[in-house]
Amino acid sequence: MAEAALIDGKAFAQALRARVGEYAAAFAHQAGRRPGLAVVLVGDDPASQVYVGAKGKACAAAGMASFEHRLPADTSEAALLSLIERLNQDEAVDGILVQLPLPGQLDEQAIIAAINPDKDVDGFHIINAGRLAVGQTGFVPCTPLGCIMLLKDRLGDLSGLEAVVIGRSNIVGKPMAQLLTEANATVTIAHSRTRNLPEVVRRADIVVAAVGRPEMVRGDWIKPGATVIDVGINRLPPEPGKDRGRLVGDVAFAEALEVAGAITPVPGGVGPMTIAVLLRNTLIAAYAHAGMPAPEGL
């Protein structure tokens, strides 16, 4: 059997960001202002700082306005809720993103619930989760939406395909399963308590791995010809003489490459899609905020 095709999330994300940039310029011409994304970072978590910086650069590259609010780690919940309310009311802000995780004194659910659902471009608000669950239009978390875009680009119609989502988080697993169901796939959500997990995964035409455990899904779990979307990004311990361990996904890539029909690499697969979809969601929020129909092709 031939080696699996690589699903190039980086190239797809670049094309999506280019389309967003074109439509953002058209929006600015029509609305007299740029689409605006407010990003709130509490504390100095290094990974979060990198993500926030990347989001700011991506906004600038797409011709969008970025409003960064960096708050100290000891910020009170009342102060953060006050900032969110100001951003909810700010006409220049179309999307609001509060970078997670938050310091321990802050209730993440209360903070997310305070965001105007129509500015919740992360898609984490319970109203947007409910909209997705019942098939209404709303914001969908960026990573699973990016995954479904890659799957449709690779496979076209997903109707009747058997899909297994490994992981049941509110951020990836559950919304991923709902998107696949909406696309008429037959969906199983598997997790740490699933019996005979390898056998369950072997049934799948589509495997989405989102468990956060390095290389857990082995090559012999994969049905020959299946499409594998690896959401995981894990850093292994460094090898002797090296400062940093290599990045791997939740799937044993080299093994799966010999069996799958197509697979996303780590890095360069799902990761680049997340920020691209965030920009896309912010642009759609801007059009809705301005009372204009969002363009086709997003």
Phi then psi dihedrals of residue 106, to 5 deg: -105, 135
Catalytic residue (choose from 55, 119, 174, 223)? 55
CA dist 187 and 281 (Å) reads: 25
Catalytic residue (choose from 94, 99, 178, 230)? 99
Question: Is 122 an annotated catalytic residue?
Answer: yes
Question: Is 55 an annotated catalytic residue?
Answer: yes
Question: Is 242 an annotated catalytic residue?
Answer: no
Cβ proximity of 99 and 71 under 8 Å: no
CB-based contacts of 5, cutoff 8 Å, min separation 6: 261, 262, 263
Catalytic residue (choose from 94, 118, 120, 122)? 122
CB-based contacts of 250, cutoff 8 Å, min separation 6: 166, 209, 210, 211, 212, 213, 214, 215, 216, 217, 230, 231, 232, 234
The β-bridge partners of 207 are 164, 228
DSSP, res 208: E
Cβ proximity of 237 and 215 under 8 Å: no
Question: C-alpha angle 105/277/71, rounded to 5°?
Answer: 25
Task: Tell me whether residue 260 is exposed, middle or buried, using C-beta atoms within 10 angstroms of its C-beta: 0 to 12, 13 to 18, 19 or more.
Answer: buried
Give the number of other CB atoms < 10 A from CB of residue 1: 9
CA-based radius of gyration for the chain:
20
CA dist 184 and 287 (Å) reads: 29
Give the number of other CB atoms < 10 A from CB of residue 228: 30
Cβ proximity of 189 and 162 under 8 Å: no
What are the residue numbers of the active site?
A: 55, 99, 122
